């Protein structure tokens, strides 16, 4: 077994360094053959396995791969993790998508009403997810899905996860839910109008149009209902907003902006937080538990986030993604742009944020994943470091903080 692994790695290195040997790839072929027992156990027939894997080749240009002789490719193409909020949440884009969303709200009014009645998820939220994921189906996903999933399973950073995704994709084809030709995906393997990984579709997919297939590629009812079902399965609370924009009082401790620090919204208001645009919250709303979110640290807008905020975050683990979806949903219903504008902050490179996270881990202020993404936990840990180092506490990953961390002691 150890010799087989060595041969596979050697062959992969040859393919990467010598174009003449680019096809076939014996190591990859051997790996695909090794997946048969798992596929068989999951219910994939031999005929399906052979037909769909015949001639399959890897795509070593994908993101998030670990390739011999090359640095980890990471995931630089995910805009929600490398762009500042002002670039990711552009009001012009929100307005364009909101206009189209309102048109689709009319077109699919019966379907959306039925989805909300069954699942308790507002139609505007589901449409916003569709709009963010594939521009309401107008964006053509660029990759051969099986090729992506097989490559990620072979040399991706999350190999075990993608072995399962590859087998689940074979089952989708075998069941007649999608053809190999139509199984187009992102570089990470998400597919369909509302972007599901195959395993997520197996858990949450809904045949809402009643044709016997869960078809999120061409059936809008199935795609939207499946998105709603996924939110419900992850804890969606009917009748609860995703978040409230607020003005934070001067001197707010930005290190408190983590999911673990929750208080009833009414208590946040008594502490000096003021709802944006003069919004008046009902007693029921003020009783809801919420966390503080400051996406740019002490700069830019602030939000009190409900449980539904974190449910949407399960769909895509990015604060900016949830803000985009929530803001787009509100805009479809007539809401204005955020009251507080985004600041002109810059975003550090992923490698720099990773370096910060490693430093914060070393000194005991951070215990989460080292991923180069300046999320809520990273920003709070940065604020704690700034306090201890006598720096301005703004909970934002800046060049100044990076230099302070890197300075010799």
**Residue range 320-369, pLDDT digits in tens:** 999 999 999 999 999 999 999 998 667 788 889 999 999 999 999 999 98
Distance from C-alpha of 289 to C-alpha of 307, rounded to nearest angstrom:
8
* Residue 6 confidence (pLDDT): 36
Distance from C-alpha of 295 to C-alpha of 341, rounded to nearest angstrom:
12
Domain boundaries, the chain: 2-70+142-191, 243-305, 350-406
H/E segment holding residue 389:
helix 376-389
Q: Report the pLDDT averaged over residues 166-188.
A: 97
* Residue 213 confidence (pLDDT): 95
DSSP 57: -
* Residue 122 confidence (pLDDT): 98
Q: Report the pLDDT averaged over residues 190-219.
A: 97
Q: Does domain 350-406 have CATH number 3.40.50.2300?
A: no
Look-up: residue for tokens 């062959």? Answer: 11
pLDDT in tens, 109-168: 999 999 999 999 999 999 999 999 999 999 999 999 999 999 999 999 899 999 999 999
Distance from C-alpha of 170 to C-alpha of 39, rounded to nearest angstrom:
8
Q: Looking at domain 2-70+142-191, which CATH architecture does it have?
A: Orthogonal Bundle (1.10)
Q: Is 163 exposed, middle or buried (0-12, 13-18, 19+ CB in 10 A)?
A: buried
Predicted structure pTM score: 0.89
Share of the chain above pLDDT 90, in %: 81
- Whether residue 372 is predicted with pLDDT greater than 90 in this model: the reply is no
The model's confidence at residue 2, banded by pLDDT at 50, 70 and 90, is very low
């Amino acid at each position: 077994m150890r010799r087989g692994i060595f041969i596979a790695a050697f062959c992969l290195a040859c393919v990467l360094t010598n174009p003449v040997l680019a096809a076939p790839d014996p190591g990859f072929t051997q790996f695909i053959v090794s997946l048969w027992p798992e596929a068989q156990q999951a219910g994939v027939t031999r005929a399906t396995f052979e037909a769909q894997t015949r001639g399959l080749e890897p795509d070593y240009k994908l993101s998030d791969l670990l390739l011999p002789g090359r640095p980890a490719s990471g995931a630089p193409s995910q805009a929600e993790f490398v762009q500042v909020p002002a670039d990711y949440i552009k009001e012009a884009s929100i307005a364009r998508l909101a206009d189209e969303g309102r048109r689709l709200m009319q077109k699919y009014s019966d379907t959306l009403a039925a989805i909300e009645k069954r699942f308790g998820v507002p139609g505007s939220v589901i449409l916003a997810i569709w709009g963010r994921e594939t521009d309401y189906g107008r964006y053509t996903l660029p990759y051969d899905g099986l090729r992506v999933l097989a490559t990620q399973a072979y040399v991706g950073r999350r190999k075990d996860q993608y072995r399962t995704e590859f087998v689940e994709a074979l089952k989708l084809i075998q069941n007649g839910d999608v053809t190999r030709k139509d199984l187009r995906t992102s570089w990470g393997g998400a597919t369909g109008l509302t972007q599901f990984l195959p395993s997520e579709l197996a858990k949450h997919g809904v045949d809402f149009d009643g044709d016997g297939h869960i078809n999120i590629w061409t059936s809008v009812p199935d795609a939207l209902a499946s998105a709603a079902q996924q939110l419900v399965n992850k804890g969606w609370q009917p009748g609860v907003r995703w978040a409230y924009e607020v003005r934070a009082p001067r001197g707010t401790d930005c290190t408190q902006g983590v999911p673990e620090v929750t208080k009833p919204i009414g208590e946040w208001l008594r502490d000096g937080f003021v709802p944006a645009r003069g919004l008046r919250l009902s007693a029921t709303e003020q009783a809801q538990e919420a966390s503080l979110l400051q996406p740019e640290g002490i700069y830019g807008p602030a939000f009190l986030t409900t449980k539904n905020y974190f449910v949407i975050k399960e769909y895509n683990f990015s604060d900016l993604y949830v803000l985009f979806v929530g803001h787009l949903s509100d805009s479809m219903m007539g809401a204005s742009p955020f009251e507080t504008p985004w600041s002109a902050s810059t975003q550090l490179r992923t490698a720099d944020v990773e370096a910060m996270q490693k430093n914060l881990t070393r000194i005991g202020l951070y215990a989460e994943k080292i991923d180069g993404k300046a999320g809520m936990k990273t920003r709070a840990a940065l604020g704690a470091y700034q306090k201890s180092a006598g720096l301005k506490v703004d909970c934002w990953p800046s060049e100044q903080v990076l230099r302070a961390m890197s300075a010799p002691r």
